[in-house]
Amino acid sequence: MLSFQNDYQEGAHEKILARLIETNLEPLSGYGSDLYCESAKKKIQTACDCPEADVWFLTGGTQTNQTIIDTMLEPYEGVVSAETGHVASHEAGAIEYSGHKVLTIPQHEGKIDAAELETFLRKFWEDGNHEHMVFPGMVYISHPTEYGTLYTKVELENLSAICDAYQIPLFLDGARLGYGLAASDTDVTLPDIARCCHVFYIGGTKVGALCGEAVVFTRHNTPKHFLTRIKQHGALLAKGRLIGIQFDTLFTDNLYFEIGKHAIAMAELLKKGLADNDIPLYLNSPTNQQFLLLTDEQAERLKHDVVYSFWEKPDEDHTVIRLVTDWATTEAQVLELVQVICTCLKNS
Amino acid sequence: MLSFQNDYQEGAHEKILARLIETNLEPLSGYGSDLYCESAKKKIQTACDCPEADVWFLTGGTQTNQTIIDTMLEPYEGVVSAETGHVASHEAGAIEYSGHKVLTIPQHEGKIDAAELETFLRKFWEDGNHEHMVFPGMVYISHPTEYGTLYTKVELENLSAICDAYQIPLFLDGARLGYGLAASDTDVTLPDIARCCHVFYIGGTKVGALCGEAVVFTRHNTPKHFLTRIKQHGALLAKGRLIGIQFDTLFTDNLYFEIGKHAIAMAELLKKGLADNDIPLYLNSPTNQQFLLLTDEQAERLKHDVVYSFWEKPDEDHTVIRLVTDWATTEAQVLELVQVICTCLKNS
Amino acid sequence: MLSFQNDYQEGAHEKILARLIETNLEPLSGYGSDLYCESAKKKIQTACDCPEADVWFLTGGTQTNQTIIDTMLEPYEGVVSAETGHVASHEAGAIEYSGHKVLTIPQHEGKIDAAELETFLRKFWEDGNHEHMVFPGMVYISHPTEYGTLYTKVELENLSAICDAYQIPLFLDGARLGYGLAASDTDVTLPDIARCCHVFYIGGTKVGALCGEAVVFTRHNTPKHFLTRIKQHGALLAKGRLIGIQFDTLFTDNLYFEIGKHAIAMAELLKKGLADNDIPLYLNSPTNQQFLLLTDEQAERLKHDVVYSFWEKPDEDHTVIRLVTDWATTEAQVLELVQVICTCLKNS
Amino acid sequence: MLSFQNDYQEGAHEKILARLIETNLEPLSGYGSDLYCESAKKKIQTACDCPEADVWFLTGGTQTNQTIIDTMLEPYEGVVSAETGHVASHEAGAIEYSGHKVLTIPQHEGKIDAAELETFLRKFWEDGNHEHMVFPGMVYISHPTEYGTLYTKVELENLSAICDAYQIPLFLDGARLGYGLAASDTDVTLPDIARCCHVFYIGGTKVGALCGEAVVFTRHNTPKHFLTRIKQHGALLAKGRLIGIQFDTLFTDNLYFEIGKHAIAMAELLKKGLADNDIPLYLNSPTNQQFLLLTDEQAERLKHDVVYSFWEKPDEDHTVIRLVTDWATTEAQVLELVQVICTCLKNS
């Protein structure tokens, strides 16, 4: 059975496992104060071309979003997000649980538009009743988005300028950042992100780690007593080494970028395979998540051969499915997948 | 340099690492729905002699305490704990962050007394103003306690009976449970705990795992939509396999108990070594945490040779330090530690 | 200067003040346990034709919405509301502060549509990922809505049936209920509301009281230990008599309904006066809030003679204003208002 | 039947009611922006000899404590209080509901001791693990305390100096402040309180108002967007005039102080009457709350003639009761109360 369900279906990249074993018996201090965390932070600062960045390690995506948003916002503030933003729709209300509203604006293939954002912010401040409303206190974007799409450098710069003008942070959810950085046509680099965003995170869980996300505060803007607040959120790992060692490995010899490139190559192989067979994709995603529009019957039939993710139902008779490549995907698997899809579609 | 700082200073037991590597490339479903989580749950049910137990996996201790307490309490309820309970004093207010008060009662070497608990609960309900107060909605104990001490079976049964009488759950924090179960003189078994407690957790992080705690609900009393609430707490791991595989390994061939036994043997070797040299311990802990009363000067000198934990200052001139053994402690390290302590104390 | 700014710009109906004075020196027990609260509850039960209703008194609208929603929802649930619902947009995030998401669906002149609600609820439960999302746990409607509009009896019955089918409560925000019940064309009575809604409140603040809202639970569904939870929300008044006496008065000799009728008569006088002068209203509101579309210049000019509420800007050059009548509005004031508006519009 | 149950058993002082009637039909802007609120603020600034004080009006005591504490603390901070502090024990967990721990220190007849406070704060900062604990972020005292006792000016100055040294605010709960200021032997004035405290409130509910507490920030330290946060707490009154007019009246012609003096005179009459009959009080309270130690049998018998508050049971056979005077208590009532108590005690 082929499995293209998601990018967290395997364990970890072999180099990470090897490093965990090598360091296993070294006694290290806890809670992220060990030397591997320190080393990883330095390497991330370098990769971001931001030597003054504050880097922190958390365990998973929703936890990271909740912790960053809750600690950077004032209690009277909410976070602005696309309607399809992960924080708006797929985190079980973790943001509201921490007391903050998600203020939604329209999405365009998962992205927000700078002009629409500016209008939203301007109208809030113009409204005579705004003291009775939730203050927009941060802008959340995901890159790649939930649809696999990417912002351009200019788009990021525009969003950043608006945030600066309104003196609120731009927060980039990089759960799949490795795949975004490795996309063929992107002009966005990690230093660009560090320059444009006030805070962002470099996803590990979906990019080859067992778990772990690296949060980067780029403007000396780490919330006060952040360690205490992480603990208060139940998010402080006793064996902080677990994440430190993983990120130290990911940022050694460009491993993080190599993982991204491999998954993108596999996604492009898939796209080419489908194109060669005149099978159109649902939207043009430049990253490792690809979306296919099937009839319900085709979607049902495909289940016999491939584990995929159900994405959404655009109408009564059709289903959009998601196929995801990652660091562990092989060329043989992709070629077989193309075969299986072709057979499935021809028979309908 | 010797290090007896805590029981989470190393990585993981080698069998766990080996198993992570073996299973690494298997594509598995996420969020704890994989076959290793299932297998681990069954093994834990068996070890608890409680085939109907609901078992869930979380990442760390404070997260587990917060999630259990918040989801099992009604909003108008607080949790009763010893003043020295971890939830009362060392979790950065994580319980209050989730909206609940910690209602403290006296501690006796870290333990609570059944009669004092009963009086506390009775007085609450007798008070004519109790609707203006926080309802005691759960009893929290740790076993071993923060001082390494243990409840006896009769003590647990008494606490359990009181909780049943007041219809509130008894919750046992087993962050170091493996060391408690392996103590020489304890009459408490894992099935005893499952029988007496409405909910408890089997600590992994401090007993040989990279991370992970196994929560056991013993009375079909898992909070409704618990997965959603775990996610809301930012505590749902995408790669649930990471904890499932570890607990599956810990509960194969008695590994969890073997780890406990080893650490207890090392603690007893330390106790004997000190006793042979007429060096008294601060209190009689039957588990892997041992406490030593030193002059401030001795404590300072000892730092040159041993990494230990500062515990508390009983007066102006003395310091209590904590020395902890674990699955990775070797006999040679303990013997050297005894030597070092003897030398340090003689020279003062 | 005329003032039609809102329906809480004066103090209280004279009968209420008279009753406060009469009862002033009677020593009464606190926190809503006095005889006037009891008497008011009985009268409200009778007026609702719901002898088993549980009635509670709170102080203001946002407080009431927050307390009801937070105490009736499970922590993993959110409340479904029109985008324009007061709880969605004008309560400073009070619902999110209490941990719950407001799940918005489209509005039609302030109302939600039963079919759209049903689709929303059905899709949630059909979604394979719904355990990662916020559960719809209650439906919130306002009656009159924020636009002064009203549901028909059939519409209420349909919403009620959907809520019953999905086993979630229908909550009606009746901050201005008195004006809704008194509208000329409505077929909705207070007993209809008690029959259709699982919980609702009868607004006092905006209908002649100094403060106070009467919450009615119609299905023996008062949240457990509700008094304690009211106190936890900071919403328990020591002198509960203050609200009890006011509602006892409002529900004596039909005062609540008389107040409503008077304000509606004044609103109709205003509508007729404008119609007679061919001045169209922005939308057809059957209650005490009327909306007028002006050019920005007209809106500015009108400020010299009338205090009104700015409502919204439909485009760059226009402004919608709100004019509100209440129990204290006089015929002379309305006639003068019509005059003033005519003059203002003619001069432009 | 005599009633000395509490100081909120009647309505409001007649001058307040008269003023509500006089102003009733004036249309005023909402949410505390009216001219009576403005006027009351000015009079309070003057009475406090603190022209720059920020004054805000809230509705009740628990609401005020919750709002002040939650908005002035950082999320990682808790409030230090005597074990018997109202916020620690009798507010249904309202502080914890807002996410903050109450850090308790010992009480001495309801008061905290400056030296003990200093030790508590110093030890926190000395503790190497304090980042895993709740930061003390504010000191809460009540004046009069829950036992009717008062701080001296020197005691207040000492507490204030400690708070300044640790850069945390001193918050004084003045729910019964009027009675404290009027006590015979106190050397504490309202300007002293404004000088020593970073924030405090002047209680209205228990000192002659229908409801209302006036919060005074003395150091330009109103939390940012405080109006929005009040609303978020469900604590923003639409008809802010209700409290503004009451405080404007209370601070006209010394009414607030006259009310206090009257209640104290009545309390002293009671004390003298009991002393003349050799009936000792439980503790020496200088304010309007007096405590009497009775056998359970006496306490039961007294219920036939007097409504009092049960206070506590010091042992199995005795009961402490509370007798409270207020602005409405008459000399005749006090004399009759003394008679009734004498008769009750003689017959036992």
Q: What is the pLDDT of residues B72-120, one digit of tens each?
A: 999 999 999 999 999 999 999 999 999 999 999 999 999 999 999 999 9
Average pLDDT in the B33-40 region?
A: 98
> Residue C16: closest CA among chain D residues belongs to which residue?
D21
Residues of chain C with CATH 3.90.1150.10: 2-6+256-346
Residues of chain C with CATH 3.40.640.10: 14-254
Interface test with D, best of A66, A98, A101, A132 (most D CBs within 10 A): A132
Nearest Cα residue to D328 out of D50, D12, D29: D12
Per cent of chain B over pLDDT 70 is 100
Tell whether D61 lies on the interface with C, counting CB pairs under 8 A.
yes
The overall longest dimension of chain D from CA atoms, in Å, is: 62
Q: Is C75's CB within 8 Å of B229's CB?
A: yes
Q: Is D10's CB within 8 Å of C25's CB?
A: yes
Q: Is C94's CB within 8 Å of D62's CB?
A: no
Average pLDDT in the C189-203 region?
A: 98
Instruction: Enumerate the β-bridge partners of residue D102.
Output: D79
The span from the CA of C114 to the CA of C212, in Å, is 30
What pLDDT is stored for residue B348 in this prediction?
67
Residues of chain A with CATH 3.40.640.10: 14-255
Tell whether B26 lies on the interface with A, counting CB pairs under 8 A.
yes
Angle at B90 between CA B85 and CA B91, to 5 degrees: 105
Q: Is C102's CB within 8 Å of A101's CB?
A: yes
Nearest to C134 among A78, A93, A132 (CB): A93
> Quick check: D244 and D39 in contact, CB under 8 A?
yes
* Type of residue numbered D86: H
Average pLDDT in the C151-162 region?
A: 98
> At residue D143, does pLDDT exceed 70?
yes
Chain A residue numbers touching C76 (CB-CB < 8 A): 92-93
Average pLDDT in the D139-155 region?
A: 97
Q: Is A74's CB within 8 Å of D132's CB?
A: no
Residues A98, A100, A104, A110, CA torsion sign? negative
DSSP state of B111: B
Q: Residue B127, by phi and psi: left (phi above 0), alpha (psi -120 to 50) or beta? A: beta
Average pLDDT in the D305-315 region?
A: 93
Positions of chain A with pLDDT under 70:
348
Distance from CA of B74 to the nearest CA of C (A): 9
> At residue C347, does pLDDT exceed 80?
no
* Domain made up of C14-254: CATH architecture: 3-Layer(aba) Sandwich (3.40)
Tell whether A71 lies on the interface with D, counting CB pairs under 8 A.
yes
Fold of B15-254: Aspartate Aminotransferase; domain 2 (3.40.640)
> At residue D338, does pLDDT exceed 70?
yes
> At residue C345, does pLDDT exceed 70?
yes
Chain C residue numbers touching A92 (CB-CB < 8 A): 76, 131-134
How many Cα neighbours within 13 Å face the side chain of C232?
31
What pLDDT is stored for residue D128 in this prediction?
86
Residues of chain D with CATH 3.40.640.10: 15-254
Mean pLDDT across chain D: 97
The span from the CA of A237 to the CA of C296, in Å, is 58
pTM: 0.97
Average pLDDT in the D25-48 region?
A: 98
The span from the CA of D216 to the CA of D39, in Å, is 15
Q: Is A75's CB within 8 Å of D132's CB?
A: no
Instruction: Enumerate the β-bridge partners of residue C56.
Output: C215
What pLDDT is stored for residue B346 in this prediction?
85
Residues 297-316, chain C, touching A (beta carbon < 8 A): 310
DSSP state of D250: H
Could you tell me the end-to-end alpha-carbon distance of chain B, in angstroms, rounded to an integer? 21
The span from the CA of A202 to the CA of A255, in Å, is 13
What pLDDT is stored for residue B347 in this prediction?
74
* Type of residue numbered C272: K
Q: For residue C242, what pLDDT band results from cuts at 50, 70 and 90?
A: very high
> At residue D318, does pLDDT exceed 80?
yes
Which two tokens mark A54?
């504050």
> Quick check: D164 and D138 in contact, CB under 8 A?
no
Fold of B2-6+256-346: Aspartate Aminotransferase, domain 1 (3.90.1150)
Tell whether D76 lies on the interface with A, counting CB pairs under 8 A.
yes
Distance from CA of D130 to the nearest CA of A (A): 9
Query: Chains near C, with 3+ CB pairs < 8 A?
Result: A, B, D
Interface test with D, best of B8, B63, B120, B134 (most D CBs within 10 A): B134
Report the range of poorest mean pLDDT among A128-132, B25-29, C234-238.
A128-132
For B68, phi and psi rounded to 5 degrees?
A: -65, -50
Chain A residue numbers touching B61 (CB-CB < 8 A): 238
The span from the CA of A266 to the CA of C174, in Å, is 58
ipTM exceeds 0.90, yes or no: yes
The full 3-state SS of chain D, as one line of letters, equals CEECCCCCCCCCCHHHHHHHHHCCCCCCCCCCCCHHHHHHHHHHHHHCCCCCCEEEEECCHHHHHHHHHHHHCCCCEEEEEECCCHHHHCCCCHHHHCCCCEEEECCECCECCHHHHHHHHHHHHHCCCHHHCCEEEEEEEECCCCCCCCCCHHHHHHHHHHHHHHCCCEEEEECCHHHHHCCCCCCCCHHHHHHHCCEEEEECCCCCCCCCEEEEECCCCCCCCHHHHHHHCCCCCCCCHHHHHHHHHHCCCCHHHHHHHHHHHHHHHHHHHHHHCCCCCCCCCCCCEEEEEEEHHHHHHHCCCEECEEEECCCCCEEEEEEECCCCCCHHHHHHHHHHHHHHHHCC
Chain C residue numbers touching D12 (CB-CB < 8 A): 20, 24
Average pLDDT in the D212-232 region?
A: 98
Residues 84-103, chain D, touching B (beta carbon < 8 A): 89-93, 96-97, 99-102
Cα-only R_g, chain D: 21
Cα-only R_g, chain B: 21
Average pLDDT in the C156-168 region?
A: 98
What pLDDT is stored for residue C348 in this prediction?
67
> At residue C136, does pLDDT exceed 90?
yes
Cα-only R_g, chain C: 21
The span from the CA of A70 to the CA of A58, in Å, is 14
Tell whether A239 lies on the interface with C, counting CB pairs under 8 A.
no
For the residues of B158-173, what is the DSSP string, one character each? HHHHHHHHTT--EEEE
CATH 3.40.640.10, applies to A14-255: yes
